[in-house]
Chain A
Amino acid sequence: MANNLSNSQDYTGPLRRLLLVVVSLVLIAIFLVWRIDSPRVERFRAQVTDRIVPNFDWAMAPVTGTINLFRDYQSYQRIAEQNQELRRELRKMQSWKEAALQLEQENARLLDLNKVRLDPRLTFITGVVLADSGSPFRQSVLLNVGARDGLVDGWATMDGIGLVGRISGVAKNTSRVILLTDASSRIPAVIQPSGQRAIIAGDNSAAPPLDFIESPDLVRPGDRVVSSGDGGVFPAGLVIGQVAADPGGRLRVRLAADYERLKFLRVLRSYTTEPVTDAAHVLTPDLASNDTGVTTDE
């Protein structure tokens, strides 16, 4: 029998090696194609995700629910404290509610006087979070709405309160939202009340830093950060969060959206965004300006 076995291994040895080489070459080819023509492969990835992940959905909801239940149970242990805390906060909120109601009435009156009509194109689609990125290096979530619901790459996504991210990768039934905390996320923002413009550059931490602030002296922790609409990426004026300074003195954004539990997300329809069609490439000064430079030299 042992003799027989080694014989069969000798027989299959070269064949297996050949198979290994072929499979390895295929994998290398896939990787290189991805490196060269990323959007196409990313679309393929979105389609694969679209086929597989929704099938997990029936199991994912109960398992997530159960685990969250256990987590909540731990917080039940200090329920008395929490109750006191909430009562205190509620009393504070009551006064705010009064103020908010008055402001709302005033706002309604003013809108009526102005005959303002809100942009009818700014409507939204609500989706449920199916899955997260599955990797600690990437911050994204998968929504259960996709091209079927008319989603387009680049649309802004919010939870009830603040901006969460942007759509990147749409398949038929699902779409991926790159969160503001992802290392590849860059969102133009404006800081109120100073009006300073900045880029929110995600770095895989809970509070993304603010880059490219012209005069940081004018920005104070606590200032509001809203999207600026620069570059036609997002509609302007979406709440993002508040400025906070980290121990190193770097300015960061404390996000308004509740990143702890993202469950239902709103995708804002906006038809001003430029479609992303080409692969990433190096930006060079365009030829027209080069030409004029040459002529002035002459």
Chain B
Amino acid sequence: MNEYQTSRVWFMRTCFIVLALVALFMHLLPLSTLPSAWAMPDLLVGFALAWSVRRPDYVPVFLLASMLLLSDLLLQRPPGLWALLILLCCENLKLRAHSLRAANFAVEWATVAALILGAMLGYRMILAVLLVERPSLGLHLIETTMTILSYPFIVFITHAFMGVRKTIPGDLDAPRGRL
């Protein structure tokens, strides 16, 4: 890792913070105060997972945890639990990043969908065990489905506009090495 790589990594980390704040901003916009029958996808979760698959070094544990905890606090969820589950999902993806790098997108999507679904079920189970009021099942399912469905778009945006791509061999070499 040379100077260029390091500054690029830190730049992308800052980008992730900005991205998380933008996602929160979208959620908090007071567009309608009527209870709605559908739910927006959880954008932060989508981006966190997509970045974890592509460039684990852009989303270190501490950054992920603090952003997820912030979203728990701002979006009126029980603080800590959802953040923990998604953090574990992200770390799981980072471990598999090597194998997922070679696989095609369908495999990645299926893995991510399974993780999100698992996180949602775990979340509801833990809340039920601790006798915390759970969000309504229908809405929660809609939100989970929306998140899973929006994942390809999130990946597209990540890939096309933010330049967060899977590393290919030689990518981590210094740029002058290619000259």
Q: Which residues on A are within 8 Å of B, measured CB to CB?
A: 1-2, 5, 16, 19-20, 23-24, 26-31, 34-35, 41, 44-45, 48-49, 52-53, 56, 59-60, 63-64, 67-68, 129-142, 179, 181, 183-184, 204-206, 259-262
The smallest C-beta distance from B176 to any residue of chain A, in angstroms, reads: 13
Q: Which of A20, A44, A134 has the most CB of B within 10 A?
A: A134
Given contacts A27-B65, A64-B31, A179-B33, contact A133 B80 (CB under 8 A): no
Flag if A56 contacts B28 (CB, 8 Å). Answer: yes
Flag if A181 contacts B78 (CB, 8 Å). Answer: no
The smallest C-beta distance from B130 to any residue of chain A, in angstroms, reads: 6
Chain B positions within 8 Å of A35 at CB level? 78, 130, 132
Given contacts A45-B73, A56-B25, A135-B75, contact A64 B32 (CB under 8 A): no
Q: Which of A27, A63, A140, A261 has the most CB of B within 10 A?
A: A27
The smallest C-beta distance from A53 to any residue of chain B, in angstroms, reads: 7
Flag if A64 contacts B29 (CB, 8 Å). Answer: yes
Partner of B30, one of A19, A27, A129, A181: A129
**Complex Cα–Cα for A232 and B170 (A):** 70
Q: Does B77 contact A (CB under 8 A)?
A: yes
Chain B positions within 8 Å of A63 at CB level? 29
The smallest C-beta distance from A1 to any residue of chain B, in angstroms, reads: 6
**Complex Cα–Cα for A49 and B75 (A):** 9
Flag if B28 contacts A34 (CB, 8 Å). Answer: no
**Beyond A27-B87, A142-B28, 7 extra complex contacts between A and B, CB < 8 Å:** A16-B61, A23-B61, A23-B65, A52-B74, A131-B30, A136-B38, A260-B33
The smallest C-beta distance from A92 to any residue of chain B, in angstroms, reads: 26
Q: Which of A44, A135, A141 has the most CB of B within 10 A?
A: A135
Chain A positions within 8 Å of B29 at CB level? 60, 63-64, 67, 131-132
Flag if B30 contacts A136 (CB, 8 Å). Answer: no
**Complex Cα–Cα for A59 and B25 (A):** 9
Q: Which residues on B are within 8 Å of A, measured CB to CB?
A: 24-25, 27-36, 38-40, 61-62, 65, 69-70, 73-81, 83-84, 87-88, 91, 130, 132-133, 135-136, 139-140, 143, 169-170, 172-173
Chain A positions within 8 Å of B88 at CB level? 24
Given contacts A52-B74, A136-B36, contact A67 B31 (CB under 8 A): yes
Chain A positions within 8 Å of B87 at CB level? 20, 23-24, 27
**Complex Cα–Cα for A59 and B84 (A):** 30
The smallest C-beta distance from A137 to any residue of chain B, in angstroms, reads: 4
Flag if A60 contacts B25 (CB, 8 Å). Answer: yes
**Complex Cα–Cα for A45 and B91 (A):** 26
**Complex Cα–Cα for A2 and B167 (A):** 12
Flag if A27 contacts B77 (CB, 8 Å). Answer: no
Chain A positions within 8 Å of B30 at CB level? 60, 64, 129-132, 141, 262
